[in-house]
A and B are shown apart, each in its own frame.
Chain A
């Protein structure tokens, strides 16, 4: 079933006018039917969003009928008459039994099982059959105090999102007290409810992450910018990462908990201040990420993988990830069409990182209600992707320094670290490519990433 595409059609008034059997059955179980309003709230919201933006939207879909949860990926394609729905990767699983004591059968022998209440206070922490220890004095401690929550790739905390939605979560990376040093683990859990439907907490497992590979120690030359600061020393990089990331993650997690008012209502201005703290924390965390990246790419022998990539596909992925941020400013992004392919050679995640940096900058520094173009092109043996915006542009003097470390062209806002473009160019060059800029004041900027083209 997961290979099949399930289709449906919504009319302008939000009614489901046609649907393949699984979708129709779900609609009927939700008490509706054909030619009646879509009764699946999550899907209905996505349809409304796609119609409002007049843009294709692809999102995970979570729905439920009376005996199973449904997880799928839905694509909503709006048009003048309504919208078409395409659902792929349709999976069902039985509903998790709340308060079932044996929900932790999949505890790894080296892992732990745990439970917390609705305020994330620990009420259980037990070790698997072969786990040597659990931290002492865990009782009643806050989950975010016992486990240093680590943000995911988008800077979010799955456990806090799950707390807000009162739903299950997976993939929450954490660091915890180990027998000697701190250890990396991943948390997942089901939400628990009592007989009145009140959320009562989470019950889940903590799985030990695979040991991280030790990077080879190498004697490093003194950094020209940092002088005697041992920035290029891998040990220093790891220490700075460990020393800053944990406390920052905790600040962000706590601030988000306060901002989201998970422990009960508070004054609106206090919630807003907490939101500001979380925002500032995320900025600092971004700086730590940049510094860690910098330390990594500046080490001798740094190499990027040579994956077979499609710049058109990567550009669309970048747009998918930052589309909502652009939408907040009313910025329209003109991305390559689905059939615009540009085969190239480069490391998939690094190219995506570069494109996210370029597109993120374009969104950040473009005026409201403007437009950003992303084009792919080929010139001889070079495959290129260009991000162009309608921002204030960059003078030729500024172009000379824009790729320097910590260069923010005189800006003092909390937007970035000044390392992004430096890292992006270093990455481009590590992939036998280049990152260039063309711009003039008042005429926007065009950043072009070129990589070795690939013939298919």
Chain B
């Protein structure tokens, strides 16, 4: 479409001009649709960069991830369509959790009396298995951040085909850049296979969610845990339970919740058998998140 809009007399449009015309064409195609905010772009791009860096590391520490990213920024990231879904879901979930935490900050309790010794609560009725499964879920969730608290996508959490495609693209980039005598190709091929089998063995957030749901066993326990997660604004636990109950992936469930109209929430969460009243804090929290990809772009 960009080509068809190119002004006459310019044989090869510059990449920037091409991208802008492409963007404009998209805008003209749906002028009232909400567009990505700068924050959403930045978060998604950051997640993609960390993912590409992590995958590059899988192919050996000698991969120059910084140079790779510079090249890809200039030429476009391969497999962008598939990458977009994963990065956007993670970015939107992060935005929601961050907003929720910031709102909590204003009412956070502060210990200012050194003599008060408070015994931490032990979750009433929580079985050992459920406790361990919840701990594993927390661990899987915290793997979705880097050391600085920025959102990330661990390799265990991404689609196998996306991982394979990115590994092959990075390997191809290295071959073009470095392969002088033909020996690198077989080494990289081996590294790609090893990385894919490591992912097969790894347990990510989806497996942790399923285990947590299974450990709660009784439907009433699941409902209780989900209701408690809403009250505590423990959104990862809620998404995990909803995903496992509906047999969907964590990322899909997160994106479904974040892009749902309020009226659709009870339907989405129906497998959890929650009261309508229990969902109210969730509705309120989502309603306060600006620029959600919902309806007319609330």
Taking Cβ atoms with an 8 Å cutoff, the residues of A that contact B are: 40-42, 45, 62-64, 66-67, 69, 95-105, 107, 112-113, 115, 117-119, 121, 123-124, 126-129, 131, 139-140, 163-167, 191, 193-199, 260-265
Contact = CB atoms under 8 A, between A and B. Distances in A.
Most A CB contacts (10 A, CB to CB) among B121, B147, B233 go to: B147
Which 8 pairs, one residue from A and one from B, show the smallest C-beta to C-beta distance? A124-B142, A102-B149, A97-B105, A126-B147, A167-B111, A99-B101, A195-B233, A194-B232
Interface of B: 94, 97-98, 100-102, 104-122, 132, 135-136, 138-139, 142-143, 145-151, 231-234
A40 B113 CA distance: 9
A167 B116 CA distance: 11
Chain A interface secondary structure, helix, strand, loop or mixed?
Answer: loop
Given A40-B112, A64-B110, A198-B121, 9 more contacts: A66-B106, A96-B108, A97-B105, A99-B104, A101-B98, A102-B149, A140-B132, A140-B139, A193-B104
Most B CB contacts (10 A, CB to CB) among A107, A165, A197 go to: A165
Nearest to A194: B232
Contacts of B112: 40-42, 62-64
Most B CB contacts (10 A, CB to CB) among A63, A96, A123, A131 go to: A123
B104 A104 contact: no
Given A100-B149, A166-B118, A117 B105 contact: no
A61 to B, nearest CB: 9
Contacts of A194: 104, 232-234
23 contacts: A69-B110, A95-B108, A95-B110, A99-B97, A100-B102, A101-B94, A101-B149, A104-B149, A105-B148, A113-B147, A118-B120, A123-B138, A126-B145, A140-B132, A140-B135, A164-B117, A196-B231, A197-B107, A198-B121, A199-B118, A262-B120, A263-B122, A264-B122
Contacts of A191: 111
Nearest to A94: B105
A151 to B, nearest CB: 18
Contacts of A67: 106
B219 to A, nearest CB: 24
A121 B231 CA distance: 23
A127 B145 contact: no
A201 to B, nearest CB: 9
A124 B152 CA distance: 14
Contacts of A195: 100, 104, 231-233
Contacts of B148: 102, 104-105, 107, 113
Contacts of B109: 166, 193, 197
A193 B234 CA distance: 10
